[in-house]
Amino acid sequence: MERRPQNSEGGELPEQDPGAQPGRYEQSAGAPRGASFEYGYLSPIPPEGDSWDEWVIERGIETALRDGRSIDDRTAHYIAGQRHEGQASALYSLASAGHIAPGIDDELAHGYDQQTDQARRWIRWLGGYCALRPDRGSVPGWAERAAEQDRADMEALRAAQREQEQDWLDSLFGEQPDEQVGSVDELGWFGLVRHEGRPGGMVLRQDEQGFRRVWETDSQQELDNRWAGIGGEYEGFYQEVEKQAAGEQERGTEEASGDPQEPRQIDRDGTERAELQTTGKAHGGKGKEPRIPKLLPHYGDEGYGWMERLPRGWKPVAAWGRDGWDLGSWPYVIVVEYRDPEQGVYAVGTYVENDITVQRFETAEEQSDAIDTIAEFYWRADPTRGPSDLPEDEGLLPHHRRPYRRSRADEQK
C-alpha cells in the first residue's frame, strides 16, 4: 500500500527520497549533465524526452541526492510551478515568490495516490524542502534568481552544443561529398551526401563567414528536389555574372517574381528613403552612389528560403559578439549584411517575418555599430539568446560587440 504523505507539522508528509538528510538545507545550482543539438542551430535543447522544466527538476533532485541534502530553491520553484492550480493556491505563492503559505501540505497531499510515480517523487522532495526550510516567508528576488540560473545553464548548454556540433561538422565536412557546387565567396559552397543503403541524404552548406549548416531528409524525392533547386539557383547566379561582365546589369539582382511590398530603406542618420537601392544619390561628389543589390520580402516560403535566395553580396549574420551569441531568431528574425569595401558601401538588412528594413553606411565601423544595436534589442527581448552579463539598464560590454570569429573567442577566453 502506498504510504500517505506527511505534513511539516508532524502529521503525514510526502516520503523523502534517500540522501535528503533532515536538517540540511542549502542552495545549489549544480552543473549541466549534457546537451543535444539540431543541425546548424545553437538553441538549448534538454536531453531527449525531457521538457526544460523536467530537466531542471530531475537535475536538481540528482544533485540533492548526490550531496545528501534537500532540493534547492530553483528546483522547488519549478516543482511548485508544475503542481499549482491557480493564483489563489499556496503552491502558486511558492512558485512565484518563495512563500511557504499555510495549506501547502494539503495541496501536496491532494490526490497523491492518483499521481504518476514521477509526480509523487517530486511531491515528496518538495514536501521535505518545505519542512526543512527555516524561513517560510517570501524570498526577495526568488523568480529572478531562478531566471539567472536558467540563463547560466543555457550558456553552458550552448557551449556544450558548440563543442559537440563542431566535432561532428569537422568530420562531416572533411569527407568528399557525392556532388558539390559553388564556393564560399559566391552563394556559398554546397555538398550532397547520399545515405548509404537507404533513401535520402544531407545537403551541406558553408558560407563566407565559415558558418556551416546541414539539412537532412529520409525522402529521396525531397533530397533530389532540394539539390536541383540549389543547382538552379547557381545556374541563375552564373548567368547573372555573365550579364554583369557584358555590361548588362541594369536589371541585376532587382528582378523578382510577383508583386512584393517595397522594403523600407533607412539612411544611417535615420531618414527613411524608399528609393535608396534603385536610384542612388551623389556619392562623395563623384557620380552616382554605388548600387546595393535589392532586398525583397519574398524569396521563399519562410525565413530559411529567404536566406537561401538572397541577392549576391548579402550574407546572413547568425552570431555576434565574442562568444557568438545568437543574432535574431531564425527563421522569424534574420539579420543580413552587405559589404563592398572597394566602393565604400556597407549595409545591414533586417528581416522580420517578411518585413524588410535596410540601413546603408559608408564604413564597416558604422555597420558594426548598427548590428550592435540590433543585437542588444533582441538579446534584451529574449535573454536566453544573448550574453548573461548584459548591463542592467542599457548598453553593451566590449566583448558583446563586433562580429563573431572563432579566433577572437579563443584569444579572449
Query: What are the start-end ranges of the H helices in 14-141?
Result: 52-67, 73-83, 90-97, 104-109, 117-132
Instruction: Name the one residue in this structure whose C-alpha cell is 579563443.
Output: 410
Per-residue model confidence as pLDDT tens digits over 349-404: 999 877 889 999 999 999 999 999 999 999 988 888 899 999 988 899 999 999 98
What are the phi and psi torsion angles at 123 (to 5°)? -60, -40
Is residue 73 classed as helix, strand or coil in its secondary structure? helix
Q: Which three cell numbers stand for residue 319?
A: 552570431
| C-alpha distance from residue 340 to each of 18, 188, 202, 269, 361 (Å) | 65, 17, 33, 20, 11
- Alpha-carbon distance of 101 to 80, in angstroms, equals 12
182-200 b/e with 16+ CB inside 10 Å = b?
beeeebbbbbbbbeeeeee
Do residues 268 and 361 lie in contact, with contact meaning Cβ atoms separated by under 8 Å?
Answer: yes
> What is the number of other CB atoms lying within 10 angstroms of the CB of residue 64?
25
Work out whether the CA dihedral 280, 284, 290, 292 comes out positive or negative. negative
Do residues 273 and 266 lie in contact, with contact meaning Cβ atoms separated by under 8 Å?
Answer: yes
**pLDDT, tens digit only, all 413 positions of the chain:** 333 334 433 344 434 443 333 333 333 222 222 222 333 333 344 554 467 888 899 999 999 999 999 999 999 999 999 998 888 889 999 999 999 999 999 999 999 999 999 999 999 999 999 999 999 999 999 988 998 888 888 767 766 665 667 777 888 888 899 999 888 877 888 999 998 998 888 888 887 777 788 888 888 888 898 898 888 888 877 877 777 666 544 544 444 444 444 444 444 433 333 334 433 333 334 445 678 888 877 655 577 778 888 888 899 998 899 988 989 888 888 999 999 988 889 999 999 877 889 999 999 999 999 999 999 999 988 888 899 999 988 899 999 999 988 765 556 55
Domain positions in the chain: 1-160, 175-249, 260-413
- Alpha-carbon distance of 73 to 25, in angstroms, equals 10
Name residue 351's amino acid. Y
- At CA 307, angle to CA 305 and CA 312, rounded to 5? 125
Q: In Å, how far from its chain's centre is CA 293?
A: 28
pLDDT of residue 256: 41
Name residue 361's amino acid. F
Q: Which three cell numbers stand for residue 197?
A: 543503403
> What is the number of other CB atoms lying within 10 angstroms of the CB of residue 82?
15
- Alpha-carbon distance of 183 to 188, in angstroms, equals 5
Instruction: Name the one residue in this structure whose C-alpha cell is 503525514.
Output: 12
Which H or E run includes 349?
A: strand 345-352
Closest CA to 3 of 99, 151, 124: 124
Do residues 124 and 75 lie in contact, with contact meaning Cβ atoms separated by under 8 Å?
Answer: no
Q: What residues contact 53, with CB distance under 8 A and at least 6 apart?
A: 78, 81, 82
- Alpha-carbon distance of 131 to 145, in angstroms, equals 22
Q: Which three cell numbers stand for residue 92?
A: 502558486
Is residue 202 classed as helix, strand or coil in its secondary structure? strand
What are the phi and psi torsion angles at 52 (to 5°)? -60, -45
Do residues 361 and 367 lie in contact, with contact meaning Cβ atoms separated by under 8 Å?
Answer: yes
Do residues 404 and 319 lie in contact, with contact meaning Cβ atoms separated by under 8 Å?
Answer: yes
Which H or E run includes 333?
A: strand 333-340
